[in-house]
């Protein structure tokens, strides 16, 4: 039986190897295609197409790593970031599994449970995508239906609306109960609203906004905790 350190060492070693293979494949696939068909883009075209994406996606990636990894744990983080759809599928799956099990993020139990839930989510997602590809042509009339398109356009708002609602009405945090945790969103919500409507629209720089709001939220929550507006009590679950 492995110890905790042996387990984490094994997970990190496998994760680094798998990430290396992933990055190698991501770079080799377009290079092989371009070489095969002699369609290499010019350097100027490459830079024009990539710089904008780099500026937009880099802050988003950094903010997701900073905010998601402590919640997911090592194994689940490697698996989630390799398979994608972290914020809209993998993270909610892991957080829901922890909540239903009464396990607090950051614990040894959470490490194992998060990885298992993300693995199952990845398998299910792959199976659904494969099924959708096979049925794409037969179901094309269904996918193009106006009502179905309205539903698919609102998947993300519905998902994050459910997560926010559970945060507002819930108070469990693993082995403890957090009273007044909803107050922690007041300052960042007001800040991002004022900046978006009075200073500069944040559309296109959401990742940078998240990076700024993470320390704001932490400092505001700490202030409320010291003032007694947010309280942590034990024994939320029997």
Residue 105 lies in a domain: no
Q: Which pLDDT does position 167 carry in this prediction?
A: 64
User: Domain limits at 190?
Assistant: 173-238
Instruction: Give the pLDDT of the chain (238 residues) as one tens digit per residue.
Output: 667 788 888 888 999 999 899 989 888 988 999 999 988 888 888 887 787 677 767 777 887 888 888 889 889 999 999 888 888 789 888 988 888 888 888 888 888 899 999 999 999 989 988 888 888 778 778 777 888 788 777 776 776 676 677 666 666 555 567 788 888 889 998 999 999 999 888 877 776 787 788 889 889 999 999 988 888 876 544 3
- Rounded Cα distance, 75 and 11, in Å: 6
pLDDT at 238: 38
Does 147 reside within a domain? no
Q: How many helices (H) and strands (E) does the chain have?
A: 10, 3
The answer to whether residue 27 is domain-embedded is no
Residue 178, beta-bridge partner list:
232
Residue 39 counted as domain residue: no
Phi, psi angle pair for 47, to nearest 5° = -65, -40
Helices 146-153 and 155-169, interaxial angle, to 10°? 40
Please report whether residue 188 resides in a domain: yes
Q: 218 in a domain, yes or no?
A: yes
Label the pairing between strands 231-234 and 176-179.
antiparallel
- Distance between CA 76 and CA 107 in Å, rounded? 13
Residue 231, helix vs strand vs coil: strand
Q: What confidence score (pLDDT) does residue 236 get?
A: 43
List the beta bridge partners of residue 176: 173, 234
pTM exceeding 0.85: no
R_g (Cα) of the chain, nearest Å: 21
Q: How many CB atoms lie within 10 A of CB 97?
A: 19
**Has residue 236 been placed in a domain?**
yes
Q: What's the gap between Cα 224 and its chain centre?
A: 26
User: Is residue 177, in this structure, part of any structural domain at all?
Assistant: yes
State how far the Cα of 218 lies from the Cα of 212, in Å rounded to an integer: 11
If one counts the domains in the chain, the total is 1
Helix, strand, or coil here: 177? strand
């Amino acid at each position: 039986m492995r110890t905790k350190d042996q387990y984490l060492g094994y997970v990190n070693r496998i994760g680094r190897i798998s990430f290396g293979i992933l990055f190698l494949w991501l770079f080799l696939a377009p290079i092989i295609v371009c070489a095969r068909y002699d369609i290499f883009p010019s350097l100027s075209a490459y830079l024009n197409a990539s710089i904008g994406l780099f500026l937009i996606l880099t802050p988003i990636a950094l903010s997701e790593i900073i905010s998601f990894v402590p919640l997911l744990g090592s194994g689940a983080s490697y698996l989630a970031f390799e398979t994608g759809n972290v914020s809209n599928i993998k993270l909610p799956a892991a957080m829901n599994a922890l909540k239903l099990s009464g396990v607090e993020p950051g614990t040894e139990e959470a490490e194992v449970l998060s990885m298992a839930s993300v693995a199952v989510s990845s398998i299910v997602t792959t199976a659904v995508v494969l099924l959708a590809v096979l049925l794409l042509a037969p179901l094309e009339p269904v996918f193009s239906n106006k009502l179905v398109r309205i539903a698919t356009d609102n998947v993300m708002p519905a998902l994050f609306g459910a997560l926010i609602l559970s945060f507002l009405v819930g108070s469990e945090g693993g082995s403890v109960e957090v009273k007044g945790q909803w107050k922690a969103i007041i300052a960042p919500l007001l800040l991002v609203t004022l900046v978006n409507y009075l200073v500069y629209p944040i559309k296109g720089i959401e990742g940078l906004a998240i990076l700024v709001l993470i320390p704001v939220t932490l400092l505001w929550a700490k202030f409320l905790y010291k003032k007694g507006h947010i309280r942590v009590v034990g024994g939320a679950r029997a």
